[in-house]
């Protein structure tokens, strides 16, 4: 990765920070993004102390105005961006709205990667890696894209729902005229489980009803089994850096860095179109 520049959203902690560490260790210049400037700089300093070239930028990437400012700051710092990793995730226990009035998980998982990728396309010369998560692959509810009808159910969660939507949006993005054939590739990585700040802060009320009885068990075993965050960062590091995937686009990779089939709901054209249309409508003033 010598001579390459990578932007990682949510690089101050959890899987994003380990991804930043892994790419810096491979020689990349890494720009990490977090909401708090002090925390972001501290993470960059820590990773730089390990021998990497890591810089920090502060933005709340669920806010459209922050995304526009972030894209301008990135353009000031570099002529070309080789890799964009849309890593930020969120899982509030109930439906909340961002300052733009967008449902928060839809904003973080779908609208942010859509907006940031579009804003950075003029700079992008390489790869976009979008991070899915949870248990993606269920149906996409077209009357419930922003959890207008339900946020949690017996097995339904808007977290999983929006991660499936991210996959549909990524597929559609990879086919866009200004992307297809431009040398920019767009793929989705599934990291696998990690004992991260997001998981640690999840309350029982944030789980679909059917999982709630086993939450104490999950809390007991998760730190032991999933404490090593280098494992869930493997698939994003691989998609960002490996020669094996040079030119590969519109593909979904599992936690073992192997190609896995897309869920049927992500392949469904009606779902892709509905999500794309909503993202365009919500970002009319930004991109
Ligand atoms: N952990 C898992 O088991 C797991 C499994 C599968 C998939 N995933 C996915 O992997 C990705 C990373 O998850 P994680 O568990 O590592 O998350 P995490 O522990 O919550 O880390 C999130 C990172 O994102 C930053 N962040 C959060 N909201 C932000 C915002 N609005 N704007 C800018 N930065 C923000 C945080 O930094 P600040 O607090 O400094 O802003 C932190 O650096 C997510 O997409 C998640 O859905 C996670």
Structural domains present in the chain: 5-282 (3.40.50.720)
The protein residue with its alpha carbon nearest to ligand 1, atom 4, reads 193
Output phi, psi for 68, to 5 deg.
Answer: -65, -40
Scanning the structure block, which residue is given the tokens 């409508």?
281
Contact 12, 36 (CB under 8 A): yes
For residue range 10-20, what is the model confidence (pLDDT) as tens digits?
Answer: 999 999 999 99
| CA distances to 38, 67, 256 from 283, in Å | 29, 11, 34
Contact 126, 13 (CB under 8 A): no
Residue from 7, 12, 14, 111 to probe ligand 1 pocket by mutation (most atoms less than 8 Å from CB): 14
**Residue 112 token pair:** 């942010």
The protein residue with its alpha carbon nearest to ligand 1, atom 44, reads 89
Residue from 67, 104, 198 to probe ligand 1 pocket by mutation (most atoms less than 8 Å from CB): 198
Residues at CB less than 6 angstroms from ligand 1 = 9-16, 33-36, 39, 59-62, 87-90, 131, 133, 191, 193-194, 196-199
- pTM of this structure: 0.97
Could you tell me the distance, in angstroms and rounded to a whole number, from the CA of residue 36 to the centre of ligand 1? 13
pLDDT score recorded for residue 98: 97
For residue range 149-200, what is the model confidence (pLDDT) as tens digits?
Answer: 999 999 999 999 999 999 999 999 999 888 888 889 999 999 999 999 998 8
The protein residue with its alpha carbon nearest to ligand 1, atom 31, reads 60
pLDDT score recorded for residue 61: 97
Give Cα 233 distance to the centre of its chain.
Answer: 12
Neighbouring CB atoms inside 10 A of 6's CB total: 28
Rounded CA gap, 31 and 273, in Å?
32
Rounded CA gap, 243 and 237, in Å?
12
Neighbouring CB atoms inside 10 A of 236's CB total: 30
pLDDT score recorded for residue 49: 94
Sequence-separated (6 or more) residues with CB below 8 Å from residue 92:
104, 105, 206
Question: Which residues sit opposite 58 in a β-bridge?
Answer: 34
Q: 3-class SS at 176?
A: coil
The protein residue with its alpha carbon nearest to ligand 1, atom 46, reads 89
Scanning the structure block, which residue is given the tokens 């248990």?
135
DSSP conformation class of 192 = -
Q: 3-class SS at 109?
A: helix
pLDDT score recorded for residue 285: 85
For residue 109, the ligand 1 atom closest to its alpha carbon is 45
Residues lower than pLDDT 70 in the chain: none
Could you tell me the distance, in angstroms and rounded to a whole number, from the CA of residue 177 to the centre of ligand 1? 30
């Amino acid at each position: 990765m010598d001579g390459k520049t990578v932007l990682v959203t949510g690089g101050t902690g959890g899987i994003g920070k380990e991804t930043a560490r892994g790419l810096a260790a491979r020689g990349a210049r890494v720009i990490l993004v977090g909401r708090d400037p002090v925390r972001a700089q501290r993470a960059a300093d820590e990773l730089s102390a390990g021998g990497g070239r890591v810089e920090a930028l502060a933005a709340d990437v669920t806010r459209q105005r922050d995304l526009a400012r972030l894209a301008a700051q990135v353009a000031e710092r570099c002529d070309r961006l080789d890799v964009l990793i849309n890593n930020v995730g969120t899982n509030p226990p109930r439906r909340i709205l961002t300052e733009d009035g967008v449902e928060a998980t839809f904003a973080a998982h779908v609208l942010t990667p859509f907006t940031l990728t579009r804003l950075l396309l003029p700079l992008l010369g390489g790869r976009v890696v979008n991070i899915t998560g949870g248990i993606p692959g269920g149906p996409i509810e077209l009357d419930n894209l922003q959890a207008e009808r339900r946020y949690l159910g017996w097995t339904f969660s808007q977290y999983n729902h929006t991660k499936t939507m991210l996959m549909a949006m990524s597929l559609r993005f990879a086919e866009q005229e200004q992307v297809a054939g431009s040398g920019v590739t767009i793929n989705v990585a599934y990291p696998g489980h990690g004992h991260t700040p997001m998981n640690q802060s999840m309350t029982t009320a944030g789980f679909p009803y059917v999982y709630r009885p086993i939450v104490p068990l999950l809390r007991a075993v998760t730190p032991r089994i999933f404490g090593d965050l280098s494992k869930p960062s493997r698939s994003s590091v691989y998609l960002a850096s490996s020669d094996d995937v040079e030119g590969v686009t519109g593909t979904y990779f599992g936690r073992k860095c192997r190609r896995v089939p897309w869920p049927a709901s992500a392949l469904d054209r009606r779902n892709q179109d509905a999500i794309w249309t909503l993202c365009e409508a919500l970002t009319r003033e930004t991109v």
